[in-house]
Amino acid sequence: MEEKELNQSQSVENGIADGPKVLAFLFYLISICTLAYAFVLGYQDPSYSTEIVGGDAYNYIIFTNRALIFATCGVASAIIGLGGQLAGIMSILNSQK
């Protein structure tokens, strides 16, 4: 019985249960990577080596849409990571009752 109480007190000291903490960290890492890639992709100069179609304006539109897709994935990953943190906090609060 004492070992279970010790494990719960360690989880409470950390603030978040271990499973949701790892999940939240993973999704925050994915979020940072995709947002950084979206920033690089959105401000990339579509030169002749990265030309997709013939006109420059169309290339800017295509690269901007790709950056928007990655930025949306980054924001969604951050929201999922926040949900993981909240789930961990809620599980700790429920276990204390």
Q: What is the mean pLDDT of the chain?
A: 79
Please give the Cα distance from 34 to 53 (Å, whole number).
25
Q: Determine the pLDDT at residue 45.
A: 64
Q: Residue 46, CB half-sphere, CA atoms under 13 Å: how many?
A: 17
What integer pLDDT is reported at residue 64 of this predicted model?
86
The pLDDT of residue 55: 76
pLDDT of residue 14: 55
How long, in residues, is the chain? 97
- Whether this prediction's pTM lies above 0.75 is answered by no
DSSP conformation class of 27: H
With 90 as the cut, is the pLDDT of residue 73 above it?
Answer: yes
pLDDT higher than threshold 90 for residue 24 = no
